[in-house]
Structure 1
Amino acid sequence: MGGDYYVSLEINRNATDADIKKAKKATYDKFGEEGLKRGIPSDLGVNGAWTEGYTFHGNPEKIFRSFFGGDNPFGDFYAEDGSDIDVGFGGLCGRGMRKQDAPIERDLHLALEDLFHGCTKKMKISRRVMNEDGYTSSIKDKILSINIKPGWRQGTRIIFEKEGDQGPNCIPADIIFVVQQKNHPRFSRQEHNLIYTYDIDLEKALTSFSMEIETLDGRLLNIPVNDIVHSNYTKVVPGEGMPQSADPSCRGDLIVKFHVKFPEKLSLKGKRLIKQALTL
């Protein structure tokens, strides 16, 4: 053969399109680009579909154009709608891109005070990283810092891109932390508002009183209530709720709900006095 290399490339006229594509893929799977450079013996045909030799003159791109109809050897292996399909080339898929591992999600449990003030949480992860030789790997720890912004809500997602296990034939997974708000002993939360339930007896419900509520930042609010407290009554204190993450200077409201404790029993005299008071 001298300095020339030969690759059987001419297609039998009687072969179907499916036969042609199958033969093309089988040839490239077996020999790859190096096979095109070094040459494939002409007797390695596929069911007689390859008949004549092709002389290689040192231009693999030209070979690809002739062999596959373009510079991309994967061009025939797309779905009919144009999307990528997995052809199983050593972890490669579609147009030759590596697959990324599925995201890894972990809950991040935060106290309501953390979401009110904002804070920094440091999370230690252990992951597999590739060594310098590019073939072996080892387990190493890494610290991820999460800057919690005031006003973040339940379900907020913090994404660390490609911080998962490394491998020679994959893109590391993204690590995602999902905010989960811990239960608070005094407050519950609705969007940017804080809800507080205050216990009072029937006497206070029917007369005026004042109440003290400690806020999440340690202040003591003194709130007067001059209305009659009924079952659906609420007291709204503007601007004493949660900060908004887009603008922490803007805050929701504190909404106070009431639980009225009724006496378990009354004496005859007590009932008479109540009747007299309610008829005034």
Structure 2
Amino acid sequence: MFGGGIPFGHFPGSGRGGSMPAEDVDTTKLYETLGVDKSASKKDIRKAYMKLSKTHHPDKGGDEHKFKEISAAYEILSDDDKRAQYDKYGLEGVSGDDVGAAGGEDLFSMFFGGGRSRRSAGPRKGPSINHPLKVSLEDAYNGKTVKLAVTRKIIEGTPTECTACKGQRVIMEVRQIGPGMITQMQRHCDQCKGQGQQCTFKNERKVLEVHVDKGMLHEDKITFRGMADEVPNMEPGDINFIIQEKDHELFKRKGADLLVVKEISLNQALCGFTWKITHLDNRTLVIKSQPGEIIKPEMNTKEALPFVKVLPDEGMPSKGNPFVRGNLYVMFRVRFPEDNSLPENVIAQLRKLLPEPDVEEEYDPMEVEEVHLKEADLRSFGKGGAHRESMEAHDSDDDEGGARPVQCQQS
């Protein structure tokens, strides 16, 4: 599977093939919990759940354990894939899934009081395989279908019981550790690699169509159930393609919202600007400021926040509901003239045009001190003057090697 072998683990064997459910699997308990038939529709299941959850909710005096059973049963039976697994393999078929309603409680303990053996409930699920899938922001916006070829290992023929370990997966060894002293140790069977059964494999090449839905997020998972390598006595695991969203040169994404940073000159900030961009679906947008609108360096808030405007409904499609879109935020950075000084004629014109010009202070240059500012870095704030370390070192030198106090001599 993309170069991966079969990751054998410590899984109990029951002597049955991985594709055959146990004969004594219980596939009715969840339906009985909700009080519906196995042929019940999703609507009937939801209706039964809503009725029972109101009666047994702990906040209304109901039994908490019963409420957990009802919630877990509904979560499994309302999901088509989980329901199909349960109908075929019982609770064992869904025990590896994330059933949040169980609150972390073991499903077998919840419904059978821990008295039912997991071994007789059906085959466990084999390990899943995760593969990263790099997706551009354009693909996440528009959706995309990618065809990927994978190679999986499948069992050839019928597995047979390992002759070395007799299907126990481990071999017991007796070792002498001293005169008259022996110890018994167990190790994985090398012949069957700890599976308890022997079989041969062959490679099978599959071409999977991976659908990237509109609005999918970074780290979202696209699952192909039962498509991982086959393992004796286990249901094949899943192949998961994990979305890895690539950075975009213009847009930054957070949820369904997009952010762009626009640098404008002081002239554009005061007199207006026009900006043409290409959106993720190749539409051309021309963003213009309103007549007389001023773009400020910062928002008029207590905190020093960048100046931001928003274009509603021009963000990403929402996952699961692509017709609802997020917003497009534009964060402005006002670029002041690069020169450190302006010509006198330009200054005179700006004083006439711009509001709130400077008011000259009246003073006598012979009586006050005129000073001028220099460029600085705010990160140096607090580091001026003599450093504390050097002062303490100076004081230490005075204490150890400085001049001794003069003593007065009396006659």
Find the residue that maps to 2:138 and give its secondary structure. helix
Residue identity in the other structure for 1:147: H
Distance 1:155 1:83 in 2: 38
CA RMSD of aligned residues (A): 2.5
Deviations 1:139-180 (A, max 9, x none): 121111111111111121111111111133332221111111
Question: Does 1:234 find its partner at 2:308?
Answer: yes
Q: Are the equivalent residues in 1 in contact too, given 2:312–2:327 (CA < 8 A)? A: yes
Of residues 177-186 and 231-240 in structure 1, the stretch that sits farther from structure 2 once superposed is 231-240
Q: Are the equivalent residues in 1 in contact too, given 2:126–2:230 (CA < 8 A)? A: no
Find the residue that maps to 1:154 and give its secondary structure. coil
Q: Are the equivalent residues in 1 in contact too, given 2:156–2:201 (CA < 8 A)? A: yes
Find the residue that maps to 2:252 and give its secondary structure. strand
Distance 2:116 2:138 in 1: 47
Find the residue that maps to 2:267 and give its secondary structure. helix
Find the residue that maps to 1:95 and give its secondary structure. helix
Q: Which of 221, 224, 238 matches 1:157?
A: 221
Distance 2:116 2:234 in 1: 16
Per-residue deviation at 1:181? 0.8
Distance 2:146 2:240 in 1: 14
Deviations 1:16-42 (A, max 9, x none): xxxxxxxxxxxxxxxxxxxxxxxxxxx
Give the match for residue 31 of structure 2: none
Alignment size in residue pairs:
196
Question: Does 1:128 find its partner at 2:192?
Answer: no
Per-residue deviation at 1:201? 1.1
Report which structure shows greater RCO (CA 8 Å, sep ≥6). 2
Give the match for residue 267 of structure 1: 342
Deviations 1:180-214 (A, max 9, x none): 11101111112111111111111111222222221
Give the match for residue 82 of structure 1: 114
Distance 1:246 1:139 in 2: 36
How has the CA–CA distance of structure 1 residues 151 and 83 changed in structure 2, closer, same or farther, with 3 Å as cutoff?
farther
Q: 1:86-101 residue pairs with structure 2 within 5 A?
A: 94-95=119-120, 97-101=122-126
Give the match for residue 279 of structure 1: 356
Residue identity in the other structure for 1:266: S
Q: Are the equivalent residues in 1 in contact too, given 2:222–2:240 (CA < 8 A)? A: yes
Structure number having the greater strand percentage: 1
Distance 1:202 1:153 in 2: 37
Give the match for residue 201 of structure 1: 265
Per-residue deviation at 1:120? 0.3
Q: Provide structure 1 residue ranges, at least 5 long, that are not aligned to the other structure.
A: 1-77, 86-92
Per-residue deviation at 1:133? 5.0
Give the match for residue 392 of structure 2: none
Distance 2:278 2:256 in 1: 18
Structure number having the greater helix percentage: 2
Question: Does 1:253 find its partner at 2:327?
Answer: yes
Per-residue deviation at 1:241? 1.2
Give the match for residue 106 of structure 1: 131
Q: Provide structure 2 residue ranges, at least 5 long, that are not aligned to the other structure.
A: 1-107, 160-198, 299-305, 358-411
Per-residue deviation at 1:263? 2.0
TM-score by length of 2: 0.44
Deviations 1:203-255 (A, max 9, x none): 11122222222111112212221322122222211121111232222211111
Per-residue deviation at 1:268? 5.0
Distance 2:124 2:318 in 1: 38
Per-residue deviation at 1:271? 4.6
Question: Does 1:184 find its partner at 2:248?
Answer: yes
